[in-house]
Amino acid sequence: MATAKRHASAASRVFIAFLGAVVVITALLVVLLTFQAQATERAEAEAVTLAVARTIAEMPEVAQAVTRGSDASATTELQPIAARVMDETPIDFVTIMTTGGIRLTHADPAEIGKPYLGTIEPGVQGRELTEEAVGTLGPSLRSVVPIEADGKVVALVSAGITLGSVGSGVVRQVPFVIAVAAALAAIGLLAAWFAGRFTRRIAGDLPASTVRDAVSSYESVRTLGEALRAQTHEHGNRMHTAVALMELGRTDEAIELLTETARSSQYLVDRVVARDGDPTVAALLLGKAAQATERGVEWTVDMQPAIPRTALGAVDAVSLVGNLVDNAIDAAATGPEPRWVRVGMAQASDGRIVLTFSDSGQGVAVEIRERIFEHGFSTKPAGADGRGVGLALVRAITDAAGGTLELTADPTTFRVQLPARGAQ
């Protein structure tokens, strides 16, 4: 027994889209906050090591210990000071050393008397230094400050924090990061729920494709209405002109005017409606020709004879062709002279129908060539009915039919390939 394929409603798709955005944003926020916590902890560690090293370097008893006796006697006086600082601060090691880099104090007494592992040259020259280096306790952030007596560097002090200690500080901030992420996720979920509920109030449980069809229907009526209005206006003008010519006794010119109008219209009708052609598209193009004339745009249609219909229904065909023609006319009308629009329809060797819409406008900037197909994006000022629907709808109709849509430049050309009706 055949089963009906269930389609997700528009409201469900809106909820899922919002939910996906929440997940992505939350994940990015967690990563950002984690990096921020690491950067903050590192900056604080550097500030603490430098402050402690400066404090020790300025203690009078430290300078006295390294200047009045041997290294052994200096160690006897300085090791308790270093141990006290390590106990009372977050510093992991305090190394007081000679200007030659020989340790006088160390967190591990067995390392006293051995060379310091790190950079000391700036300190010997009287400058402070903060760096990351690997010592006996592993990788660490340490600051080296010169110890001076009578304006001369007599020793150096290095205060450091291991990277493991810095990492533990980051771990302490994890609950805060989790709390912020959870709060954001909760707000996002609530927004997604409201968005889905709001969409359901408007569209009910209709599938997203049905909502898209409704928009396509509206666009079809709009663009076809504009075309018919322009065509009616143009025909009215020509009829008034013909009547005036006949009243002036210039019957031949009146007949020529009406014959030319009929000849142009018949060209499109013959090529579009012949065999399997779509008469709705023919009517649309006839109206758009009048619309182009109204706006001072030269209108050309190059159509392969007896071209078959595309796989699109009448509503989608009018919506797709109408929106692309409208865009082309708008671009040409606001661009430099000569102003023109060319529409082409042909059948490719693989049986697909190729539609091209070219114009003499100023073109589409490279940086927005993908964005113009996004719903809500438009380079035109918003009108009463809003903007940013046409090209997004054109892409949706093309994709749903299994076709392709391309934009090229010089001249600006939208190229649509669609399967012919009945093609597998």
Q: What percent of the chain has pLDDT over 70?
A: 64
- Average pLDDT of 76-92? 89
pLDDT digit string, tens, across residues 255-309 = 665 566 555 555 555 555 544 556 677 767 777 777 788 888 998 888 887 778 8
Confidence band, pLDDT 50/70/90 cuts, at residue 70: confident
Phi-psi region of 386 (alpha: psi -120 to 50; beta: other; left: phi over 0): left
- A 10 A CB-CB count for 269 gives 17
pLDDT attached to residue 1: 39
State the burial class of residue 329 (Cβ atoms within 10 Å of its Cβ: 0-12, 13-18, 19+).
buried
Compute φ and ψ for 322, nearest 5 degrees.
-60, -45
Confidence band, pLDDT 50/70/90 cuts, at residue 382: very low
Flag whether pLDDT at 3 surpasses 60: no
What residue ranges do the domains of the chain occupy?
59-163, 208-418
Confidence band, pLDDT 50/70/90 cuts, at residue 96: very high
Picking from 201, 253, 223, 181, the residue whose alpha carbon sits closest to that of residue 324 is 223
Distance, in Å, from the CA atom of 398 to the CA atom of 353, rounded to the nearest integer, reads 12
Q: Are 69 and 216 in contact (CB under 8 A)?
A: no
State the burial class of residue 123 (Cβ atoms within 10 Å of its Cβ: 0-12, 13-18, 19+).
buried
Flag whether pLDDT at 145 surpasses 90: yes
Compute φ and ψ for 357, nearest 5 degrees.
-130, 105
Flag whether pLDDT at 16 surpasses 60: yes
pLDDT attached to residue 174: 62
- Average pLDDT of 88-101? 89
Give me the CATH code for the 59-163 domain, please. Answer: 3.30.450.20
Q: Are 284 and 224 in contact (CB under 8 A)?
A: yes
Compute φ and ψ for 10, nearest 5 degrees.
-60, -40
Higher pLDDT, 178 or 121: 121
Q: Residues near 90 by Cβ (< 8 Å), separated by ≥ 6?
A: 48, 161, 165
| β-pair type (340-347, 298-303) | parallel
pLDDT attached to residue 417: 93
Mean pLDDT of the chain: 75
pLDDT attached to residue 80: 92
Q: Residues near 44 by Cβ (< 8 Å), separated by ≥ 6?
A: 169
Locus of tokens 């006996």 = 136
Q: Are 147 and 62 in contact (CB under 8 A)?
A: yes
Quote the tokens at residue 26.
């939350």
Picking from 285, 313, 268, the residue whose alpha carbon sits closest to that of residue 226 is 285
- Average pLDDT of 404-414? 90
Flag whether pLDDT at 349 surpasses 70: yes
Give me the CATH code for the 208-418 domain, please. Answer: 3.30.565.10
* Secondary structure letter of residue 27 according to DSSP: H
Distance, in Å, from the CA atom of 374 to the CA atom of 104, rounded to the nearest integer, reads 69
- Average pLDDT of 91-120? 90
pLDDT attached to residue 357: 94
pLDDT attached to residue 387: 41
Locus of tokens 């310091």 = 116
Higher pLDDT, 95 or 243: 95
Lowest mean pLDDT among 5-14, 105-114, 120-129, 334-343: 5-14
Per-residue burial over 368-385, b if 16 or more Cβ lie within 10 Å, else e, is: eeeebbeeeebeeeeeee
* Secondary structure letter of residue 103 according to DSSP: B
pLDDT attached to residue 186: 72
